[in-house]
Structure 1
Amino acid sequence: MNDQEFFCLHSDLCKTLANAKRQAILSALRDGEVSVSEIVERTGIPQPTVSQHLATMRTKGVVVARREGSRVLYRVSNPKIVQAFDLITEVMRETLESQTKTVEPWSGSSNENDG
């Protein structure tokens, strides 16, 4: 596989995870196997929507499923996916915190030169 093919696969995985509902589902799965009904309960996302997103995530290799009786349990296929998600979350929080600190000194300063 050449670099271009690899980057296309990488981009495809990122696109799969670049959806707020899929991120909520990923968060619901972070601690282990969970049924669709438990994901619905944890996320508040309607069952048909959860099932649709799980099918996409399964096709892309993000989650795997296992049948247990009449239930299907889902889990994240590789714990590094959750680690990557957490790392991106940390970067976002640090960026937002930094932006807030940069903006705060300027808040309310527009009236300082008045009058």
Structure 2
Amino acid sequence: MLETSPAALGQIADYFKVLSEISRLQVLCSLRSGSKNVSEIIAITGLGQANVSKHLQILTKAGMIKRQPQGVSVFYEIADPLIFEICELVCDRLSIRLEQQSQQLKQLETLRNSQNIGVTA
């Protein structure tokens, strides 16, 4: 159950703030298939090196990804795959909502067309 203390809600809000940036979502998606170094993440996302580094730092600090030094390189990987379940839940809800809106628009269009037919007849 969600705690309702301001401190607990603040931590939840901070977690979702991290996910509210498109570039960070791109970085997370690039890591879905496994660990990668900065160069690989840049190639996948098309983001600049400074931008990727900034987002990797934020995601690491938030505990969503972890750093794995390997020789002279550093590889990044998802710390908790549950992050993708959260994203899937949101995507599913958005898909349902968009489908409902699409149906409503079709109904309005049908209504408008039937009214136009009555006007021209």
TM bucket (normalised to shorter chain) is: 0.7 to 0.9
**TM-score, with normalisation over the residues of structure 2?**
0.84
- TM-score between both structures, scaled by the size of structure 1: 0.88
User: What secondary structure, in the 3-state scheme, does the structure 1 residue paired with 2:115 have?
Assistant: coil
Q: Among the aligned pairs, what percent are the same residue? A: 26
1:68-113 per-position Cα deviation (integer Å, ceiling 9, x unaligned) = 1121111111111121112111211221122112212223653543
Correspondence for 1:93: 95
Higher-Rg member (1/2): 2
Equivalent residues in 2 for 1:1-115, closer than 5 Å: 3-107=5-109, 109-114=111-116, 115=120
Unmatched segments (≥5 aa) in structure 1:
none
- What is the number of residues matched between the two proteins? 115
The root-mean-square deviation of aligned C-alpha atoms, in Å, is 1.9
- Is the alpha carbon distance of 1:113 and 1:107 closer, same or farther for their aligned partners in structure 2, counting shifts above 3 Å? closer
Q: Distance in 2 between matches of 1:13 and 1:47?
A: 24
